[in-house]
Structure formats: C-alpha cells, structure tokens
Amino acid sequence: MSALASFQNTHKHEVITPEMHEIKNLIMRTYAKREALKKEMQCWYEEHQESRFERTSDLMLVDTILSELDSRYKILWDYHNKKAS
C-alpha cells in the first residue's frame, strides 16, 4: 500500500474535523504535485545529466508545504483523537 493510500484510509473511530478533512485534501493534491515534479525531474536528468533540474526550487517548495501540512494535520489529529487514560 502506498503512503498516499495509507493516508486515505481513515478508521471509523477517528475524529476528523472539517479543517482536518480540508488539510487531508490539500495533502493529497500536494503529494500528487510532488510526484509529478519527481517524474519531471527524472525525465530531465535522463536528457540533461550535466545541468541542474530547472524546477528544483519548485520541488523544494512543494516538499516544504507537504511537511507543514502533515505537521498541522498531526497536531489536530493528536488533539482530537487522544486516547482516554
């Protein structure tokens, strides 16, 4: 199972707020952009071994956004899905 497929599987006992749902959608869209950029980079390097990928900064930005979204989702998930002691 891919990381994205695993992320999409939500257990019935989890609390998912509207904000968390929106973040989840943003994560999935951002992940798709990241994968597209990685494929583009692979094709780039097959043809341009001696030069830097022209969209490296785009890929770095998408990675940063993905990380921030993931962190925000985890904070919310932890807050809303605390296990009773």
* Domain residue spans of the chain: 27-85
pLDDT 10s digits, 66-78: 999 999 999 999 9
- In this predicted model, what pLDDT tens digit does every residue of 18-58 receive, in sequence order? 999 999 999 999 999 999 999 999 999 999 999 999 999 99
Name the pTM for this structure: 0.79
> Which token pair is 69?
């979204």
| Mean pLDDT, the chain, integer | 89
- Helix then strand then coil, in percent of the chain rounded to 5, is 70, 0, 30
30 in Cβ contact with 69 (< 8 Å):
yes
- Give residue 1's pLDDT band: very low, low, confident or very high (50, 70, 90): very low
